[in-house]
Structure 1
Amino acid sequence: MQSETNSQFNAELLCPAKPGGGAPWAFIVLPREASEKLPRRGRTTVEASLNGHHFQVTLEPDGQLSHWLKVSKEHLEAAGVSVGDVVDLGIRPVDKEPEPEVPSDLQEALEAAPEARVVWDETTTIARLDWIHWIVSAKQAKTRAKRISDACDMLASGKRRVCCFDPSGYYSKALSAPKVADTQEIG
C-alpha cells in the first residue's frame, strides 16, 4: 500500500450517547485530512493500529465528508485503553475490500428472486457494499423491507448499482457519527 494513503494521528476515544447492542464500545471521528486519503467517502475497510494493537475495521461515513471508527470493547481491552484516553491511531486502506456480510433478510430475498441473485453475484464488492449500506441505513423496519424489495426489483432488471443513495451521507444528511455521551464513562 502506498504511504500517501496512510494516516497517523492522535484522537480521543469518545463514548456514544446511545451505545445499543449490549457490549460497551467507543468511537473516533477521523480528521478530515485522514479521511480524504481514503479511496471513498462511503464505507471503507482499513487496517488500523490503536496504540500498537492491529485490527481490520470498516469505517462508517460521518455525513461531513469524513469517517468514524467504532472501537469494540475487545479492541479497547487489547490496546489497554478506555473512553476519554487520547490514543495513537494509524490507518491504511486494505488492498482489496473484503466481501460484506449479507444481512439475513436480504439473503432470503435474493434467494427468492433468482434474476436478482444473478446480477447481485455479478456486481463488484463495492457495489454490494453500497446496496447493503443503503438497506441497513433505513431507520424503520418498514423502510428497510421496502428497500430490500426495491433492491431485488432493480437487480432483477439488470441494475448493478443502487441509485439515489449518497454513501457519504453528506448530501442527504442521512448518515452521521454517533452523538457523544454527556459523561465519558463506559461500563
Structure 2
Amino acid sequence: MTQRIAQTQRTAQAVEFTTVLETIGSSTIARLPQAASACLPSRGQVAVRGSVAGHDFRTVLEPDGARGHWLRVDEQLQHSAGIGIGDHVAFAIEVVRDWPEPDVPGDLAAALSQASATIQTMWTDITPMARWEWVRWVNATANPATRRRRVEVTISKMTNGKRRPCCFDLSACTDPTVSKSGKLLGSA
C-alpha cells in the first residue's frame, strides 16, 4: 500500500493512497493505510470528497476503533469506476467542512416524522455532523430491541434539548457487522 500527501491550492491536505477492496459482511470497504489515517483531523468520522479511477464521490470515513479509518465503497461507485473486491485501488481524498446528509434509517425517519414540530425543527437545525452521530448511534446495534429503544431515546433526548447523543465512543466502529467481524483489527 502506498500513500502520498500533497497540498492543494486551498491549503487543505489531499491524501492519496492505494489499498485493496475487501468484503466484510455485505459491505465492500477500503481501509485507509495507517499513514493516510494519521493525516486526518480526527480519529472519529471525517467528511471527505474524493476520487477513484476518475470518479468523484463524497462520503464520511468511518473509524475502525484502532486509530484508523475505512470507507464503504457502494456498488454504484464500484461499477462506474470499474473496480471490485480484491482490486488494488488508488484513492485521493480531501477533508471537507460541509458534511453530506446521512442516510436516515426507516425506523428513525418514521419516529422523526411522528415527533412534534419542535423535534422536526431541531432535526433540520442541527448540523449534518450531528445527524450522522444520531444515525450512527441508532445503527450501532444489531439487536432489534436495543435499536427500538435507541430510536425512542433519540426522540426523548431531543425533546429535552439534546442536540447530539452522548456516551458512545466516536472513534469506535459502529457498524455492527463490520465491527463484530474482527477483520478491521486484523483478526478474522
Distance, in Å, in 1 between the alignment partners of 2:34 and 2:180 is 13
2:155 aligned partner: 152
RCO greater where, 1 or 2, for CA within 8 Å and sep 6 or more?
1
Change beyond 3 A, Cα 1:140–1:56 = same
Q: Which amino acid aligns with 1:137?
A: A
Shift of 1:106: 1.4
1:43 aligned partner: 45
Shift of 1:123: 1.9
Structure 1 contact 116–153 (Cα < 8 Å) conserved: no
Distance, in Å, in 2 between the alignment partners of 1:56 and 1:161 is 23
Q: Which amino acid aligns with 1:42?
A: G
Q: Under a length normalisation based on structure 1, what TM-score does the superposition of the two structures give?
A: 0.78
- RMSD, matched Cα: 2.7
Shift of 1:83: 2.2
Distance, in Å, in 2 between the alignment partners of 1:26 and 1:155 is 33
Structure 1 contact 62–177 (Cα < 8 Å) conserved: no
Which residue of 112, 122, 127 corresponds with 2:130? 127
Aligned sequence identity (%): 35
Structure 1 contact 63–168 (Cα < 8 Å) conserved: yes
SS in 2 for 1:138: coil
Which residue of 86, 93, 96 corresponds with 2:95? 93
Which structure 1 segments of 5+ residues have no match? 20-24, 181-187
Structure 2 contact 47–60 (Cα < 8 Å) conserved: yes
Which structure 2 segments of 5+ residues have no match? 1-7
Distance, in Å, in 2 between the alignment partners of 1:61 and 1:27 is 12
Change beyond 3 A, Cα 1:102–1:131 = same
Q: Under a length normalisation based on structure 2, what TM-score does the superposition of the two structures give?
A: 0.77
Question: Which has the larger share of strand?
Answer: 2
Change beyond 3 A, Cα 1:56–1:118 = closer
Structure 1 contact 41–61 (Cα < 8 Å) conserved: yes
Structure 2 contact 50–57 (Cα < 8 Å) conserved: yes
Shift of 1:128: 1.3
Size of the aligned set, in residue pairs, is: 173
Are 2:165 and 1:162 equivalent residues in the alignment?
A: yes
Q: What per-residue deviation string (whole Å, max 9, x for no partner) do you get for residues 152-171 of structure 1?
A: 1111011112110112217x
Q: Which amino acid aligns with 1:102?
A: V
Distance, in Å, in 2 between the alignment partners of 1:46 and 1:173 is 19
Alignment of 1:1-187 (within 5 A): 2-16=10-24, 18-19=25-26, 26-114=28-116, 115-169=118-172, 176=179, 179=183
Structure 1 contact 61–177 (Cα < 8 Å) conserved: no
